Structure 1
Amino acid sequence: MKNLETREDIELLVNSFYDKVIKDDVIGFFFKDIIKVDFAQHLPKMYSFWESILFGQMTYKGNPMGAHFPINEIEAMEQKHFDRWLQLWKATIQENFSGENADMAITKSENIAKLMAFKMDLARRL
């Protein structure tokens, strides 16, 4: 299995992940129906996000938490949605990569999912 080492690897990971997401019965509707994601714009942001997270290449400019609050106001983003996001992300990594960076991508995603789920739940309660 290949190590996760380059921007091209991240692009493969992210593209493969979103191929799963868009078809998924649990979270796909967020992307297709709720926010109608323009993947030509979204995917490059996600490449930069993960490149920043995994390789320290500060190419990402944005506020991921801030981007999700408006979605959460339209349709509640619940724990089950974050669990499914995480399940698809982990599966995509494990199908394509191994090694330290792959492990880190899983650990970082677990932390992101926990934080996002907590903050989206808190925002709904306020």
Structure 2
Amino acid sequence: MVRVLLALDDNIPQAHAQTNAVEDLIGGEEGVTVYILHVFSDNPEGASVQQVEAVREAQERLEEAGAEVQLLETSGSPAEEILRHAEEHDVDRICVGGRKRSPTGKALFGSVTQQVILDTHRPVLVCGSTEEE
């Protein structure tokens, strides 16, 4: 059984890149569970994870690929919540998104990605964004 934590924000091209990577990773394997996590930074209207388009699209594609998908939502520090859910669900891998950076900024990952990489013993898959096709 393979368990993957897919941490998505609301950037659709980024979610497509991450979903592509997870589809490649699971490659039709049976017994795969993908936990899709969305961390709300500010949610005064009480939106749910099912209202995030990037999450809905990823869920649909991964279920079509044969994965069991569980949606998770929380608020707080994205890196801390990603790490907490990775531990709680005992995932085998964490998939996070990367951001375009300036030439100088390319030497470092974004703060969330960097914190996740440095503060876990689990493999972390970092995906760059794709252009809409």
In terms of fraction of residues, the more helix-rich structure is 1
Q: TM-score, normalised by structure 1?
A: 0.35
Name the structure with the higher strand share. Answer: 2
TM-score, normalised to structure 2, is 0.34
